[in-house]
Amino acid sequence: MLRCIAKNSQVPPIVGFARKVVEVVSEFEAGAGGEAWKILSDIGKRFVDRGLVVGSGGNLSMLLPDKKSFLVTGTGTQLDRLSEESFAVVGLDGTYSTEGTQPSSEYRVHLATYQGRNDVTTCIHLHPQASVLLAALGIETKFVTVDHVYYLRKIVRIPWIRPGTQEIADAVAREIAGVNVLVLENHGCVVVAGNPELAFSRALNLEEASELSLRSRMVGIEPLEVPRAYREYLEGKG
């Protein structure tokens, strides 16, 4: 069972997607957070099955219904083999139990996100290949499809900072206020959303946009991006 904290230690116009979001959010709220680990476990397995990451290439978290703590994958866990014991609970004051599963070394990134964004309930940090390589090559991510624009809107890159440090959490905190997608150079990405399915879709679209950008560079042709007018239309809708 999950351990308690120790003090000393915009839905797109796609009916199927909208229904899935409602189902996931309802399940999470009805279970008072008890189902959160199952939701994250499912998402972790889907990431690995789709080839976005290898087993331990990232960490996942969800804000718990008390709005005072979040569930995060433990250190060294495999994203395609997550069980209830794979998670730790961290308070928004940064405290967690020193017994049992310890939170990922990147828990500070998740903490900084929830502290700075009261509209976010899910934070995903992955080590995907295409987006990391694109940043390492200094190539801009192109938004080739309307989905890329809808889900991503804007991508901010953060220069190299050693993983697992307060410094990287501070950098994320500074940038995450205005965007939902960050790329950490030579490291990975941070994607946030108001529900887990939307966060999952943003991560998928980040990697797809990155892969298409790489392919276009390989053939020496710059792709035609979605017109700016569509971005402005979405921004006007909020």
Q: Looking at residue 28, which CATH number applies to its domain?
A: 3.40.225.10
The model's pLDDT over 170-197, given as tens digits with 9 standing for 90+, comes to: 999 999 999 999 999 999 999 999 999 9
SS3 of residue 47 by DSSP: helix
Strands 155-158 and 181-184: parallel
Assigned domain for 225 exists: yes
pLDDT per residue over 61-76, tens digit each?
999 999 999 999 999 9
Does the residue 96 lie in any domain? yes
In terms of residue numbers, what domain contains 134?
15-237
More confident residue, 55 or 14: 55
Output the 3-class SS for 151-194: HHCCEEEECCCCCCCHHHHHHHHHHHCCCCEEEECCCEEEEEEC
Establish if 2 belongs to a structural domain. no
Beta strands in 32-168 (DSSP E): 58-63, 69-73, 87-91, 122-126, 155-158
**Does 21 reside within a domain?**
yes
The answer to the question of residue 8 being in a domain is no
Q: What's the number of domains the chain is made of?
A: 1
Q: How far is CA 167 from the centre of its chain?
A: 19
